[in-house]
Amino acid sequence: MRVPAETMVGTYVASHPFGIETITLNADGTFVQRVAIQQEQPMTIRGTWDFDPKESRAHLYGSMTVADGFGHLRSDWRTVTAGVDSLDVERHWFRVVMGSAATSPYIKQ
């Protein structure tokens, strides 16, 4: 189910087997991404985001890609992506979820 743009602002958490990733989408079009990996120093970055309501996709500009798509930590997880990270956004029951097909999707808190 598609999500209205006004519900996008907020904090999303992905619980990975190796740690926790938090993305806070701010109303001014900025985001804060915080990654806390077990046995590692946490890392926090900032970037910008927008939302395509027609496609129900969030676009993050300047984010870190932490997981490799198979539930494992990427060796270069601290690297900020120069391009865009495009995530599907859906409503699952009463929750908003980004990256719903991922092993560890982002769930709005």
State residue 6 phi and psi, 5-degree precision: -70, -15
Report the percent of the chain where pLDDT is more than 90. Answer: 72
Q: What is the CATH number of the domain that holds 53?
A: 2.40.128.370
Give 78's DSSP letter: T
Q: What is the pLDDT of residue 69?
A: 85
Domain count, the chain: 1
Measured distance CA(3)–CA(31) in Å, rounded? 18
Tens-place pLDDT, residues 27-64: 999 999 999 998 989 999 999 999 999 999 999 999 99
What range defines the domain where residue 102 resides?
A: 5-108
Tell me how far CA of residue 47 lies from CA of 5, 21, 81, in angstroms.
18, 15, 10
Helix (H, G, I), strand (E, B) or coil at 90: strand
